[in-house]
Structure 1
Amino acid sequence: MEKPLVSIITPSFNSEKFITETIQSVQNQTYKNWEMIIVDDCSTDQTVSIVEEITKKDSRIHLFKLIKNSGTGIARSTALAQASGKFIAFLDADDLWKPEKLDKQLDFMKVNKLPFTFSFYDCINEGGNPLNKRIEAPLDLSYQQLFFCNYIGNLTGIYEANYFGKIAVSPIRKRQDWIQWLTVLKKIKTAQPVPESLAFYRIRENSISASKMELVKHNFAVYRTHHHLNLISATLCMVGFLFTQLILKPRYSKTIKASI
């Protein structure tokens, strides 16, 4: 019996330094029934030409190009519209999957009868070198916990489209992944991660994840625009968010040895 199709959603923008390695990490999966849908957000470097060459050799990889720069949310939404898999997975154009990522995660979902799961992940720097930091999460993650801290690395999340439908991606430019996982948890109440690292998250210089002030600004915007909270309520939520980050921050190990 053929294994179910997994649709991999990948937005790209000026990713020429990383996109080949990212695609190779998908091609190296032990699980072979997948499609990778790359939507380029008007790159000005060689990203498009690199992907076009790869698509000539692998029919599972599909490239779509936006006609104007619109942000990650629109790119992901465009890719989602093209997806036909039973499962929807996400991988940004500079991150990497470990070879058994899909196999292990889908097996975990099947054995535990879960419509959604995610995993731990390791951090690497812009050059691909390990930062000796593994991001973990509660083994029974609740909506309330996720509300104050995005424990779910977008590159690790997989959901079953037959259960949720295609979950709409917010058009906002930043933090739409957090909104998506909040939508998931609002329906299923709790989520369980595969309790091991299955991916590498690349922390790039000047990225949102590297800038704490930018992170605070965009998280505050989520409380205001997505949750429709007034100024006072959104501010109180940000206090809770900062408390979580500084006091109850996601667990991580500083002693891992990450190999790509």
Structure 2
Amino acid sequence: MPSYNSAKTVEHAIQSVLTQTYQDLELVIIDDCSNDETCRIVEKITDTRIRLIRLSQNGGSAVARNTGMEAATGRYIAFLDSDDSWYPEKLARQHAFMTTNKIGFSFTAYYRNEPNGKKRLVPAPAEMTYKKLLRNTIIGCLTVMIDRTIVGHFTMPNIRTRQDTATWLAILKTGIHAYGLNEGLAYYQVEANTLSANKTKMLQQTWKMYREQEKLNYIHTLYNFTGYVYQAIKKRVGGYA
């Protein structure tokens, strides 16, 4: 869990982890040089499964997540930002799904909490490949679980945005497939003033990811970009849950 000036939301996010029905877990929180009360709030929660790592300089969410993955001792890695949350059965349902089907990379459906107070369900397709994900935005970082004994060591590229999608693409490019559990098991909070809500910047960053991270030529970039835009619109205008 990367955190940066998340005093208003981090405790709720932490409690959504600690109240999981699957209790054999560790929560590594990486604070990216917050200047508010974030660290004090984390430190007052007395649970031995929590580890707080304070970075000496602000590096962004990719650096924070990579630091957390290096520190984590578990076989499975799951991601949650400090302003999002999980349903209590999220880890248990996903762990069972993965072990039963011998899956290395899974994700789930999730709810988008919109600034207007309504929520939308973002479904999880049954399977995603590298080519499919190039034209889609369907894998929510807060829903991903990865078995490191199957996928192996991985890190997120040190870019300011789209580092999660670039990571999934890098994993899928090796031939591993991602499998979706179509159950809404997490909440993603959409803030009106965040980068994810700034559509123009996200479009620019996605185009840049195709060209610089994936090294696609112009034609392939345009082809996948149009698919991405279509899927992004479809995700955002879908029916309310």
Q: Percent same amino acid among aligned pairs?
A: 38
Pairwise CA distance, 1:212: 1.0
The alignment covers a number of residue pairs equal to 241
Q: Is residue 136–residue 252 contact of structure 1 (8 Å, CA) maintained in 2?
A: no
**Residue 172 to residue 58, structure 1, CA distance change in 2 (3 Å):** same
> Can you list the C-alpha shifts for 1:193-215, whole angstroms capped at 9, x where unaligned?
11110000011121222121111
> Can you list the C-alpha shifts for 1:63-88, whole angstroms capped at 9, x where unaligned?
11111111111111111110110100
Match of 1:21 in 2: 12
| 2:124 aligned with 1:171 | no
In 2: Cα distance, 1:243 partner to 1:24 partner: 35
**DSSP 3-state at the match of 1:146:** helix
| 2:177 aligned with 1:190 | yes
| 2:88 aligned with 1:99 | yes
TM-score, length of structure 2 as denominator length: 0.92
Q: Is residue 136–residue 251 contact of structure 1 (8 Å, CA) maintained in 2?
A: no
In 2: Cα distance, 1:190 partner to 1:251 partner: 25
> Can you list the C-alpha shifts for 1:79-131, whole angstroms capped at 9, x where unaligned?
111011010000001000000000000001111111111100011246xx852
- Whichever residue aligns with residue 118 of structure 1, its letter is F
Return the match for 1:37 from 17, 28, 36: 28
In 1: Cα distance, 2:215 partner to 2:128 partner: 23
- Whichever residue aligns with residue 132 of structure 1, its letter is K
**Residue 102 to residue 28, structure 1, CA distance change in 2 (3 Å):** same
> Can you list the C-alpha shifts for 1:113-168, whole angstroms capped at 9, x where unaligned?
11111100011246xx8523100132222221211222100000001011122311
- Whichever residue aligns with residue 10 of structure 2, its letter is I
Return the match for 1:122 from 111, 119, 127: 111
Q: Tell me, which stretches of 5 or more residues in structure 1 are unaligned?
A: 1-9
Q: Is residue 80–residue 166 contact of structure 1 (8 Å, CA) maintained in 2?
A: no
Return the match for 1:53 from 40, 44, 51: 44
Please report the RMSD computed on the Cα atoms of aligned residues, expressed in angstroms: 2.0
Q: Tell me, which stretches of 5 or more residues in structure 2 are unaligned?
A: none
